[in-house]
Structure 1
Amino acid sequence: MTHDTRIAAGVIEGFFGRCWTWQNRRELASFLKSRRLSFYLYAPKADKHLRSQWRAPHSSRDWQQLHLTREAYRAAGVDFGVGLSPLDLCSHAGVADTAALDKKLEQLNTLNLDYLALLFDDMRGDMPQLAERQSALANRAADTSNARRIILCPTYYSTDPILEKVFGTAPPNYLEDIGAGLDAAIDIFWTGPKVCSDSYPQQHLREITERLGRKPFLWDNYPVNDGAVRSKHLYLEAPGADRADAAPLVSGIAANPMNQFFASLPALASLGRAVSDEHYEQDTATRETLFSLYPDELANHLIDDIPNLQTLGLDGLSEQQKQLLIERYSSQQHSSPITKEICEWLQGGYKFDPNCLTE
């Protein structure tokens, strides 16, 4: 099997809840480069200045941190982007305020972005002419932004029925209309058959390509763990082999990581292999990646504990099992920062907060 090594594969920090630190984000730049990943998108749900208060500028401190982070990615030779969610512009009242988007994009242009993502996820979608409005906003962003690649995330970014249950019934022909209205150079995010898809069937991707009029850009919700259920698990395994099979059928793959920065690195480290290696195998990639990242003793413990941390999770572990794991990883905190994150997670430090969904 030969894969297109030109595919863009990277990371989108696009989760709810507890964010990474600015230092984490800058450390990621050289890590991505070393693992054959080509971009990072800054789009945490907790950054109100990209979502509910998107019109307001960032604080001077955060704006400085954004510039420093952008420079770290430039120095590493990794593309840098930002995800903006001007959700209220999709409403009837928002049409009169489209110029606010231009002003925000002019601010973002000072970062000299490589990528700009316009994100319309997590909003009500049962409104007339939604596709036409979102396409027009994305086309306008493409005209105003100096980013060389624009990606639109539609409101209905999967065929998962949960989206219509939560956000209302999608307008008829929504995906087809989005694709028809968008400039051909603009990509479209897609999470697969589910919001958090376990696999990406090739037939599904071909059907979505037909509906969108272009290959989808996968927003891969693995290893993300920001939800009520997934927050009780740490996803340490390499991505499934279906990412390798999907690579020729998509325009890119953006992995959405976990709230735990260091615990996210094993899964992210294998993504570059998954989309480019001719003979990618998940178990082999998991083992080799863990041994490449950590001392042998710690790597062996992590491999042994994947059934506990990833499969059983917090609800499946007894209090005695949790305490034994805490003791194991506390004794190895000199080995890697991942051990501190595991202990804090076991002690409830990353408990899901439903309030984060409304911020």
Structure 2
Amino acid sequence: MSFTRSLFLSGALAFAGAAIVTFAAPANAVPLTAAPAIFPAPVSLRLAGTDISLGKSIVLVRAGYVDAETEKLVRQVMSEAGVETIRTATKLPARFDTTYVVIGTTDATAIRSALARTGGALPTETEGYALASHADGDGALIVLAGKDGDGLYHAAQTLRQIATAGHIPALTIADHPAMPVRGTIEGFYGKPWSMAERAEHIEFLAGMKANTYIYSPKDDAFARAKWRDAYPAETLKALGEVVGDANRHHVNFVYAISPGPSICYSDPADLEAIRQKFAALRGIGVRSFYIALDDIEYTKWNCAADEAAYGPSGETAAAHAQATLLNEVQADLAAAGHGSLIMVPTEYYNVTVSPYKTELAKDLDPRVVIQWTGTDTVPSSISVADARNATKAFGRKTLLWDNYPVNDYGESAGRLLMAPYDRREAGLSTELAGIVSNPMNQEVASRPAVMGLIAFAWNDTGYDAERAWRAAARYLAGGNPQVTEALLTFFDTQHLAPTFGNQPWQPQAPRLRVLTNRVRDALASGDTAERAAALEALGQAADDLTAAPDLIRAGVTVPGFATEAQPWLDATALWGRALRLTVDGLRAGDAMAASRLFGEAARLADEATKIRTIPGATRPEGPIKIADGVLDRFIAEAPGLIYQPRPPSS
């Protein structure tokens, strides 16, 4: 896939107040039109003059160790920008006669020297980077400096966004992530992703500067129901290929095991089974591990030995038993030179201090990271105060498991969840260890929401939900404005974000609701001009709704989206036609014509309600929902919004 600058231009994530500097341009410069939009929004971007012409040949200087994937990405970006020849050198000349690109980390003297020549500042934060470019004489200097290897890779991803055909803007970027962990957890129930989908998702995460993918599908039998059993050799090999992709793309592949439904905490054989499972995964390149203890009973033991070891079952005893096991595994990881173990507790939501949380906080090795889903399993919002209270309850900063846009529960049946990532408070970066999204069974359709989460985790204080949402549509559309708008039209029909209750945390079809309510008000007011204008606007929306599915099928450039969304697209086209007929019925000059149009609209609406989710693709399955509560209600109520005299009896 290609994350080129064109996907993010035209204000997708533009920077307010960015200065455009004009002065006499060097020979190799081209006019500068606007500051580039970069995703996620960087901490700082400063323009340094007119754009730089790259030319057909550049010189690449590697400063210190540069990993192969990063250099490959830089070379690819230059090639796609029109560079035909890339020579290499070990140092910079006093004066430039062509474009020099210097890449490396800040421990290299050449990087510090090159960055000083551009006026850029050395990155000091973990995963931070500086990207600076300026014209010099008959050439130019472009510097990609990473605080570490990950930061350098992020710099290369930014280079991919700002380089266009033949040129690059003259600028200075200083950037680093607000949160140390950013990404996704494949933690849903139902059909897991395929290995190919995982590989594509990891490449997507890398392009967005995310750094974490947690493998925890609930329906992987060898990670949950049969967790003691070894993976078949062919499965382990396939998983190893995905792990290799993640490692190359600077995404931390975290393997999770879910032994809770059957584990005997005090049995040395079960601890050994975990060690053996992790050893097998370590053999294919995994370096980060996770033990999930969610969605299990803690009011009863799975074996009599646990009662003998820890006493009668209950919250406190369960927390003590879990901590004892987890501490052993954490010690193993430390001895192997790996990082912290991650765990999700049995009480994984709310901030209420409880005997379980108190015991877990007291007994658990402080190096172990605890996941938390917020104030509820699917919270309507998360505030800084919520996260601070979670820190108090669990005895450490938590890693947020955000259950959005996951759609594996009853209230989400028949839906794709495609509203913006929203209602998470700026400043959470000071109180969380990071955020991961639990996505949908539909991998590509999850990306708009995931992009918002990643942008928030990178720069929560600079996050704009609406801009990130539009950027996601532009990303799927490959930069095509017409397809982008078609996607936003479709997203509006899937805007409802449910919770485990009756009140959704984001409303359904807010754009369409404004138009239908305007028609209701106009009809009630008797204002002829407003009635005509309101019906014209709703009619255009109906036409857009009807046309959107074909535009999306033909124009979306990310493979998989149209296939995953097929039944929703089919239903959207029918609902669009039904809405158009309804508008025409409201415009009709006589009762007979209106009745006929309303009847045909009702028939199409009924046909749309019979379309169901793809069998086996989602849990739970059910009828497809399109702008439900807005579109269906308006079409059903429309005949009663105008006076229709009865036809004369025969």
**Larger CA deviation: 83-92 vs 115-124:** 83-92
In the TM superposition, residue 182 of structure 1 has moved relative to its aligned partner by: 1.2
Stretch of structure 1 that moved more, 265-274 or 303-312: 303-312
Matched, 1:66 2:239: yes
Kindly state the Cα deviation for residue 30 of structure 1 after the two structures are TM-superposed.
2.1
Is 2:334 aligned against 1:114? Answer: no
The yes-or-no answer on 1:282 pairing with 2:465 is yes
Letter in 2 for 1:352: R
Deviates more, 1:137-146 or 1:247-256: 137-146
Contact 1:74–1:80 (Cα < 8 Å) also in 2: yes
1:191 aligns to 2:373 (yes or no)? yes
Is residue 142 of structure 1 aligned with residue 330 of structure 2? yes
Please tell me whether the aligned partners of residues 4 and 248 of structure 1 are also in contact (alpha carbons under 8 angstroms): no
Shift of 1:220: 0.6
Query: More deviation in 335-344 or 73-82?
Result: 335-344
Q: Which residue of structure 2 aligns with residue 352 of structure 1? A: 619
Scaled by the length of structure 2, the TM-score of the pair is: 0.48
Is residue 341 of structure 2 the alignment partner of residue 341 of structure 1? no
Letter in 2 for 1:287: R
Structure 1 stretches lacking a partner, 5+ long: 162-169, 355-359
Q: Who is 1:133 aligned against? A: 321
| Number of residue pairs matched by the alignment | 338
Higher helix share: 1
Scaled by the length of structure 1, what TM-score is found? Answer: 0.85
Q: Which residue of 1 aligns with 2:212?
A: 39
1:266 is aligned, of 438, 444, 448, to: 448
| SS state at 2:458 partner | coil
Please tell me the residue identity of whatever aligns with 2:464. E
**CA deviation vs aligned residue, 1:290-335 (integer Å, no higher than 9, x gap):** 113313223212212333123299xx99xxx9xx979742564233
Q: Is the 1:73–1:79 Cα contact (8 Å) retained in structure 2?
A: yes
Secondary structure of the residue aligned to 1:40 is strand
Aligned counterparts of 2:497 and 2:423: Cα–Cα separation in 1 = 22
Q: Distance in 2 between matches of 1:333 and 1:92?
A: 51
Partner of 2:491: 306
2: CA distance, partners of 1:113 / 1:326? 47
Corresponding position of 1:19: 192
Relative to structure 1, the CA distance from residue 33 to residue 101 in structure 2 (aligned partners, 3 Å threshold; closer, same or farther) is same
Describe the shift of the 1:35–1:92 C-alpha distance in structure 2 as closer, same or farther (beyond 3 A): closer
Contact kept? 2:442, 2:564, Cα under 8 Å: yes
2:445 alignment partner, SS class: helix
Structure 2 equivalent of residue 165 of structure 1: none
Q: Distance in 2 between the 1:244 and 1:231 partners?
A: 31
1: CA distance, partners of 2:290 / 2:234: 23
Mean Cα deviation higher: 58-67 or 187-196: 58-67
Quote the RMSD (CA, aligned, Å). Answer: 2.9
The Cα shift of 1:192 comes to: 0.6
What amino acid maps onto 2:613 in structure 1? G
Match among 229, 247, 254 for residue 81 of structure 1: 254
Counterpart for residue 221 of structure 1: 403
Residues 1:154 and 2:336 are matched in the alignment: no
Whole-angstrom distance in 1 between the partners of 2:281 and 2:184: 19
The 1:330/1:93 distance shift into structure 2, 3 A limit, reads farther
For residues 217-251 of structure 1, the C-alpha deviation after alignment (integer angstroms, 9 at most, x for no partner) is 10010111111221322122331151543222101
Q: Which of structures 1 and 2 has the bigger CA Rg?
A: 2
Deviation of 1:49 after TM superposition, in Å, equals: 0.2
2:430 matched to which residue of 1?
248
- Say whether the 8 Å CA contact 2:266–2:321 is kept in structure 1: no
| Distance in 1 of aligned mates of 2:187 and 2:242 | 16
Shift of 1:56: 0.8
Alignment pair present for 1:101 and 2:246:
no
Structure with more relative contact order (C-alpha pairs < 8 Å, separation 6 or more): 1
Are the structure 2 counterparts of residues 88 and 308 from structure 1 closer, same or farther at C-alpha, using a change threshold of 3 Å?
closer
The alignment partner of 2:362 has SS state of helix
Instruction: Note closer, same or farther for the CA distance 1:6–1:200 as it changes in structure 2 (3 Å cut).
Output: closer
Query: Is the 8 Å Cα contact of residues 201 and 443 (structure 2) preserved in structure 1?
Result: no
Q: Does the CA-based 8 Å contact 1:219-1:254 persist in structure 2?
A: yes
Measure how far apart 1:91 and its partner are: 4.3
Q: 1:140 to 1:39 in 2, by over 3 A?
A: same
